[in-house]
Amino acid sequence: MLPLVLQLAVLGMVLVAAVLILIAFIAFVTATKMPHLHQYEEEKFFLNARGQKETLPSIWDSPTKQLSVVVPSYNEEKRLPVMMDEALGYLEERQNQDPTFTYEVIVVDDGSKDQTSKVAFKYCQKYGSDKVRVITLVKNRGKGGAIRMDQMAIACGSRAHLEKESIAQRSYFRTLLMYGFHFLVWFLCVKGIRDTQCGFKLLTREAASRTFSSLHIERWAFDVELLYIAQFFKIPIAEIAVNWTEIEGSKLVPFWSWLQMGKDLLFIRLRYLTGAWRLDQVRKMN
């Protein structure tokens, strides 16, 4: 008879294998195809500086801007002005130095319950709807969902997205959770990227159309799937250091948010591994 310790070890391994098989099965049967990008009638238009409705352009249209800055926002009436003042100040200065440089800032109000849209619209009135556009979603979709929605409003050749919902404080507990999350990202999904959750990502028009059109996750872990897709398509990725000033007021609830992201990471890996989600290989992109 095998020693009791060995029997327990074998039993433990069997149980772990059974749990993993069960989780993989659940991930497969609960997987949905590409989330339908349903657009409410109100979301097909934006208000210009005069308050008149105009039809949203699409990322599939011919580009008219060199840079689009996408700002997904949820209940950000207090934090938004600080970011907008600094970003628009820089962009205006750059345009003054180089008149050929063109840009737009797209604020996507992700179903906010405060005055986020009204605050953002003041910048549209100040700078014009050619430079600042506000999209107000009927209901909250999450950052990934909000950024997918902005594909219908981009006129650019390249784009950046700035997240207003990043981490505000660093306690020991949050730091521990952060390192645990980064390990799971490395182990399950994306290797070679030190900070997948950095809220400042710059994509070419072609890369944006390929990655976001294949995106399933709509909430916190969408960044990881985005990079997973980019690596699958062999899109070159580079991490560049930037000066980042955090504004307090984050909507992130540490424990529950990290728990949700951990579940999403596991399901991202299992659903692609089991074929529940598929990516069609395409040519290497610049």
User: pLDDT truncated to tens, each residue of the chain (286 aa)?
Assistant: 557 666 667 666 766 666 666 666 566 656 666 555 667 788 888 888 888 888 888 777 788 899 999 998 999 999 999 999 999 999 999 999 999 999 999 999 988 999 999 999 999 999 999 999 999 988 887 777 677 666 554 544 555 555 443 333 456 766 777 788 888 888 889 998 888 887 788 888 888 888 888 888 877 788 899 999 999 999 999 998 887 776 666 666 666 777 788 888 888 988 898 888 888 765 454 4
Q: Return left, alpha or beta for 25; rule: phi > 0 is left, psi -120 to 50 is alpha, else beta.
A: alpha
CA distance 258 to 252: 9
Name 32's Cβ contacts closer than 8 Å, sequence gap at least 6: 216
Handedness of CA 58, 60, 66, 69 (dihedral sign): positive
CA distance 186 to 109: 31
CA distance 104 to 106: 6
Report which of 83, 60, 74 is spatially closest to residue 132, judged by C-alpha positions. Answer: 83
CA distance 277 to 255: 28
- Residue matched to tokens 């008879």: 1
pTM: 0.76
Dihedral, CA of residue 139, residue 74, residue 105 and residue 227, to nearest 10: -90
- In the beta sheet, which residues pair with residue 107? 71, 134
Question: Per DSSP, which regions of the chain are E strands?
Answer: 45-47, 53-55, 65-73, 103-109, 132-136, 156-162, 200-204
8 A C-beta contact, residue 182 and residue 107? no
Report which of 161, 139, 163 is spatially closest to residue 150, judged by C-alpha positions. Answer: 161
Q: Return left, alpha or beta for 247; rule: phi > 0 is left, psi -120 to 50 is alpha, else beta.
A: beta
SS3 content of the chain, % helix, strand, coil (to 5): 45, 15, 40
